[in-house]
């Protein structure tokens, strides 16, 4: 009889094409995928109408990698800190975005598996926050049924953004927690740490907002590379973090740092569900005169437009809703 060895399950902390770093009982094992798992997981997502299975090209596998950071896997220890992944254990959650493969259809890209907190990161200034992008991240978190914590960093630059407090009030009123911090001065950092304790969090945000700096401030021992301060630079240009990686926090929990993502589309969200993914709109969404067929645009008796008029839903959030709706 095969007895389960508790040592042979672990969590994927890092991956480079074809190789996965699995952490199990404090050891890092360099794993590859078993050929069985490749077949099981890659074929079902190939075009179901195609009569013959075709072997996927490397660049496609890169986009549709069946394993995500945060996945719990079962593996065979091959000795010498190497192993073979045989099974992906069921996920508690997944944060996804669409990955268009040129000349192909769009695939689901699971950014992180088993996270329990999504942290959209924006800077007070440098770069100027784009709140429409925050709405996109929040909808993605809601669709994954994960709570979000909005983190605003570079608080030491507060004098550069007079509108900040008014803007943040919109999100607080919508029910989202907001934590302002500065990685530079340490302000707000203890409060942030207590919000992260014992959670599996994922930082998302554009390149240059200060995600990695935040992680270094949370856990100084990490010493991760951040963008050099450049003379006259606007924080644009190249990414400093180039791949996803998960880090264990010494006070409990783990955090995934992501490279700034230029494109962040919505994955698997239906037009009818969208209003329910804006928590402050959800309670009004069922109340329109035309019911589910209401597009919440110019229809008479629209409960969502009324909520905007009554000041219960901010015009900014409503505008984001309409913009995202246009994409679906």
Ligand X SMILES: Nc1nc2c(ncn2[C@@H]2O[C@H](COP(=O)(O)OP(=O)(O)OP(=O)(O)O)[C@@H](O)[C@H]2O)c(=O)[nH]1
Toward Mg ion, which CB reaches closer, 40 or 230?
Answer: 230
Rounded Cα distance, 2 and 128, in Å: 57
Q: Any contact of residue 129 with ligand X (CB under 6 A)? A: no
**Pick from 21, 212, 216, 320: which binds Mg ion (CB under 5 A)?**
212
CA angle 262, 263, 269 (to 5 degrees): 150
Site string for Mg ion, 47-66 (x = CB under 5 A): --------------------
What does 157 bind: ligand X, Mg ion, Zn ion, none (CB cut-off 5 to 8 Å by kind)? Answer: ligand X
How is 34-91 classified by DSSP, letter by letter? -HHHHHHHHGGGS-TT-SS--PPPHHHHHHH-S--BT-EEEEEEEETTEEEEEEEPPP
Toward ligand X, which CB reaches closer, 216 or 314?
Answer: 216
Dihedral (CA of 258, 259, 260, 261) sign: negative
Residues in the chain: 328
Q: Any contact of residue 304 with Zn ion (CB under 5 A)? A: yes
Q: Which stretch binds Mg ion (CB under 5 A): 39-47, 67-75, 173-181, 206-214?
A: 206-214
Rounded Cα distance, 265 and 2, in Å: 44
What does 294 bind: ligand X, Zn ion, Mg ion, none (CB cut-off 5 to 8 Å by kind)? Answer: Zn ion
Tokens of 33: 């995928």
What does 183 bind: Mg ion, ligand X, Zn ion, none (CB cut-off 5 to 8 Å by kind)? Answer: ligand X
- Check: CB of residue 194 under 8 Å from CB of residue 218: no
Rounded Cα distance, 94 and 66, in Å: 12
Binding residues for ligand X restricted to 163-202, rule: CB under 6 A: 182-184
What does 304 bind: Zn ion, ligand X, Mg ion, none (CB cut-off 5 to 8 Å by kind)? Answer: Zn ion
Rounded Cα distance, 303 and 284, in Å: 6
Q: Which stretch binds ligand X (CB under 6 A): 50-58, 168-176, 221-229, 316-324?
A: 221-229
- Check: CB of residue 165 under 8 Å from CB of residue 79: no
Q: Any contact of residue 241 with Mg ion (CB under 5 A)? A: yes
In a 3-state reduction of DSSP, which class is residue 270? coil
> Could you list the residues that contact Mg ion (CB under 5 A)?
211-212, 240-241
> Could you list the residues that contact Zn ion (CB under 5 A)?
288, 294, 296, 302, 304
> Could you list the residues that contact ligand X (CB under 6 A)?
153-154, 156-157, 182-184, 205, 207-213, 226-227, 229, 235, 239-241, 259-260
């Amino acid at each position: 009889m095969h007895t389960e060895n508790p040592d042979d399950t672990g969590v994927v902390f890092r991956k480079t094409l074809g190789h996965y770093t699995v952490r199990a009982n404090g050891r890092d094992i360099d794993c590859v995928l078993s050929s069985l798992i490749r077949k099981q997981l890659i074929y079902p997502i190939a075009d179901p109408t195609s009569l013959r299975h075709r072997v996927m090209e490397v660049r496609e596998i890169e986009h549709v990698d069946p394993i995500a950071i945060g996945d719990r896997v079962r593996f065979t220890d091959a000795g010498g800190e190497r192993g073979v992944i045989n099974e992906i254990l069921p996920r508690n959650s997944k944060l996804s975005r669409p990955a268009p493969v040129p000349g192909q259809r769009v695939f689901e890209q699971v950014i992180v598996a088993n996270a329990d907190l999504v942290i959209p990161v924006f800077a007070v200034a440098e770069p100027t926050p784009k709140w429409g992008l925050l709405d996109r991240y929040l909808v993605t978190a809601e669709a994954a049924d994960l709570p979000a914590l909005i983190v605003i960093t570079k608080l030491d630059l507060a004098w550069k953004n007079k509108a900040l407090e008014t803007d943040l009030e919109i999100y607080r009123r919508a029910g989202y927690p907001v934590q302002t911090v500065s990685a530079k001065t340490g302000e707000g950092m203890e409060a942030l740490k207590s919000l992260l304790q014992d959670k599996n969090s994922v930082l998302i945000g554009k390149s240059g907002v200060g995600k990695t700096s935040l992680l270094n401030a949370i856990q100084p021992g990490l010493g991760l590379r951040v963008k050099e301060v450049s003379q006259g630079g606007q924080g644009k240009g190249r990414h400093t973090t180039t791949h996803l990686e998960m880090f264990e926090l010494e006070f409990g929990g783990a955090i995934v740092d992501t490279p700034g993502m230029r494109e962040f589309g919505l994955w698997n969200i239906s037009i009818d569900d969208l209003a329910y993914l804006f928590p402050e709109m959800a309670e009004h969404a069922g109340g329109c005169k035309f019911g589910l067929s209401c597009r919440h645009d110019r229809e008479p008796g629209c409960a969502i437009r009324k909520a905007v008029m009554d000041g219960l839903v901010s015009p900014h959030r409503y505008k984001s809703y309409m913009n995202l709706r246009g994409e679906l």
